[in-house]
Amino acid sequence: MSTETQKETLGFQTEVKQLLHLMVHSLYSNKEIFLRELISNASDAAEKLRFEALEKSDLYEGDSDLKIRISFDKEAKTVSIEDNGIGMSREEVIDHLGTIAKSGTASFLNNLTGDKSKDSQLIGQFGVGFYSAFIVADQVDVFTRRAGAAITDAVHWSSRGEGEFTIASTEKAGRGTRIVLHLKDGEEEFADSWRLRSLVRKYSDHIAFPVMMEKEAMPSADDEEETKDVKQAPEFESVNSATALWTRSKGDVKDEEYKEFYKHISHDYSDPMTWSHNKVEGTLEYTSLLYVPEHAPYDMWNREAPRGLKLYVQRVFIMDQADQFLPLYLRFIKGVVDSNNLSLNVSREILQKDPNVDKLRSALSKRVLDMLSKLAKDTEKYAAFWKEFGQVLKEGPAEDYANKEKILKLLRFASTHTGNTEQSVSLEDYVSRMKEGQEKIYYVVADNYNTAKSSPHLEIFRKKGIEVLLLTDRIDDWMMSQLFDFEGKSFQDVTKGELNLGEVESEEEKKQQEETAKQLESLLERLKPVLEQRVSDVRVTHRLTDSPACLVLNDYDMGMQMRKIMEAAGQKVPDTKPIFEVNPEHPLIVKLDQEADEARFADLAMILLDQADLAAGGQLEDPAAYTTRLNKLLLELSA
């Protein structure tokens, strides 16, 4: 029996202490998840060994038969999960089992809802599945030795899940990891062969490595007599299919198997929203199994976070998060790609230079977009997808020019047609409802829905019955700067440039507008010197029906939303001024034109300008001056 040395007691990191308390005392809605998570970790360890052994075959230590073994002891009330995978060093054990490491534990805790049933579903999603062992065990022992290390360099980690753990050096003949769970009182059901086998078949049948359990046999009377004095070594048998699911024919795979495989590779406990399984033969041969999750990952907005597909080359695991095969705007996609066209000694550097990678990236991107197009036919499901991933998809038109048209068809917007905040209008919907003679797709960008729908720039569009897209996501202004047209219809920001409704307006209306503008030339000339510090020009507008004035940007000026984002980030923005447009038919403009007192005229003009700025969602440079002028006007009116 080996002796343990260098034994020390260490405390868990604060977040892990909280998590362990939660596992032990709160999450009881799905106890059996512990086995699936531990088997999944064992499978990952086997795949990592196979990858490292591509260059260092001696890591196999003469045993390349990778497998996972489950055993139990009813009397001792223990369950053991053992693998002969890569194993861990002392430093890795402390890093992975004692601290937050890369597990996302803090984010897990921040996302708790207080609903035990819902919270238990977060376990795998945040990579904290190992700790689920404490749901059924009051003590967990881990014996591990990294492949290639000396027998005496093994490590024994132990904890009762109460805030600290012990770690000691020990001996272990075989590489890999053995986890021993000491079951709590009342959890003896898991120290049962039938129960464990059923859980393996339910959750881990798709694991590419055999999950072994002691072979069950009904002994005869003769066998019992024969084995009274001689204890035979137990025989083990595989209790899972041990076939890589993506290599099987689609017709042979059940939906439940697809769902369980997704949960295995993603560590997500929710079912996927949809998936696509394809095998391609020809010049470029590959098999892909791609999934759309039901919920966005907690780190989706961290563009530097690890992401990508599991990469296999001729069924040999190469990389866990290969990010070269999908563009960044599809970073939420999970899945597996297995290609015969990449060399087995492929490394990250070589992979980036392989021309077949570009071909695979293009093919897989189209495959995902086709899958989303199919999903879009189900309005309800696609609405759920859009709520989770819509803003990420909006990065697509700028990042993937080759697929821009496909991406545009997948975009959804709120609009004046729907009258609510839901982003449900496609560009195809919009084009189908365009007025006769309408040549452009009109949109407005604002900080929020209320500001967008109340924009004075929409007044003429409401009068004419022309639909306008209401864009309120932070990415929208930047996205629209990358878009030029859809199905031959150009995009037009209603807050930029001179308004031209094309054939929607009659020649008589256009002629009348020109005559009205001439009549107000003297007013415009009076306004320009008064407002020249804040605007680049003053002109008559025909886009307003109810408001007295509005601010309009030049065609190529930076939008107000983008300007705010850049300023908040400390970036320098172009020093441009808007155009001040006045409504010639509004009573306030008529009264302004009649004002003879130049000081009063200037105050009224500045009040109208500030109001136009506020209506556009802007912030006043001098709120006090605006208040002073407005109060002065109110006093005059009340006198």
What average pLDDT does this structure show over 355-373? 94
Q: What pLDDT, on a 0 to 100 scale, did the predictor assign at position 113?
A: 59
Q: What pLDDT, on a 0 to 100 scale, did the predictor assign at position 217?
A: 64
Q: What pLDDT, on a 0 to 100 scale, did the predictor assign at position 505?
A: 75
Domain match, 322 and 395 both? no
Last residue of a domain, one of 500, 522, 543: 500
Question: Which residues, 6+ apart, have CB-to-CB distance to 140 below 8 Å?
Answer: 133, 134, 158, 159, 161, 179, 180, 181, 182
Q: What pLDDT, on a 0 to 100 scale, did the predictor assign at position 130?
A: 81
- Bridge partners (DSSP) of residue 73 are 78
* Assigned domain for 227 exists: no
Question: Nearest 5 degrees, angle CA 110-CA 111-CA 112?
Answer: 95
499 pLDDT more than 50: yes
Q: What pLDDT, on a 0 to 100 scale, did the predictor assign at position 112?
A: 56
Domain match, 583 and 627 both? yes
pLDDT tier, 102 (very low <50, low <70, confident <90, very high otherwise)? very low
- Tens digits of residue pLDDT in 19-44: 676 666 555 456 887 898 899 889 88
What average pLDDT does this structure show over 614-639? 86
Q: What pLDDT, on a 0 to 100 scale, did the predictor assign at position 633?
A: 85
SS3 137: strand
Domain match, 575 and 465 both? no
268 contacts 293 by C-beta, under 8 angstroms: yes
- Tens digits of residue pLDDT in 557-584: 888 888 887 877 788 888 889 999 999 9
Domain match, 262 and 347 both? yes
Q: What pLDDT, on a 0 to 100 scale, did the predictor assign at position 215?
A: 85
431 alpha-carbon distance from chain centroid: 30
CATH code where residue 304 lies: 3.30.230.80
Domain match, 134 and 178 both? yes
- Tens digits of residue pLDDT in 503-542: 777 788 778 878 888 888 999 999 999 999 999 999 998 8
Domain match, 597 and 545 both? yes
Domain match, 69 and 193 both? yes
CATH code where residue 551 lies: 1.20.120.790
Q: What pLDDT, on a 0 to 100 scale, did the predictor assign at position 457?
A: 94
Domain match, 396 and 345 both? no
499 alpha-carbon distance from chain centroid: 38
- Tens digits of residue pLDDT in 48-66: 898 888 889 999 999 999 9
275 pLDDT more than 50: yes
- Tens digits of residue pLDDT in 375-432: 999 999 999 999 999 999 999 999 999 999 999 999 999 999 998 999 999 999 999 9
* Assigned domain for 66 exists: yes
Q: What are phi and psi of 27, to 5 degrees?
A: -90, 95
* Assigned domain for 225 exists: no
DSSP string, 7-33: EEEEEPPHHHHHHHHHHHHT--TTTTH
Domain match, 10 and 143 both? yes
Last residue of a domain, one of 442, 470, 500: 500
Q: What is the rounded CA–CA span in Å between residue 140 and residue 159?
A: 6
What average pLDDT does this structure show over 481-503? 89
The structure tokens listed for 264 are: 């295995």
pLDDT tier, 103 (very low <50, low <70, confident <90, very high otherwise)? very low
Domain match, 389 and 371 both? no
Q: What is the rounded CA–CA span in Å between residue 278 and residue 287?
A: 6
CATH code where residue 142 lies: 3.30.565.10
Count of beta carbons in the 10 Å neighbourhood of residue 502 = 10
496 pLDDT more than 70: yes
Q: What is the rounded CA–CA span in Å between residue 319 and residue 384?
A: 31
* Assigned domain for 221 exists: no
Pick 100 or 180 by higher pLDDT: 180
What average pLDDT does this structure show over 477-500? 91
The model carries a pTM of: 0.72
The share of the chain scoring above pLDDT 70, in percent, equals 87
Residue count of the chain:
639
Domain match, 61 and 124 both? yes
For the chain, the average pLDDT equals 86
Q: Which domain range does residue 519 map to? A: 512-638
Question: Nearest 5 degrees, angle CA 464-CA 556-CA 505?
Answer: 20
- Bridge partners (DSSP) of residue 486 are 489
pLDDT tier, 230 (very low <50, low <70, confident <90, very high otherwise)? low
Pick 436 or 204 by higher pLDDT: 436
Overall number of domains in the chain:
4
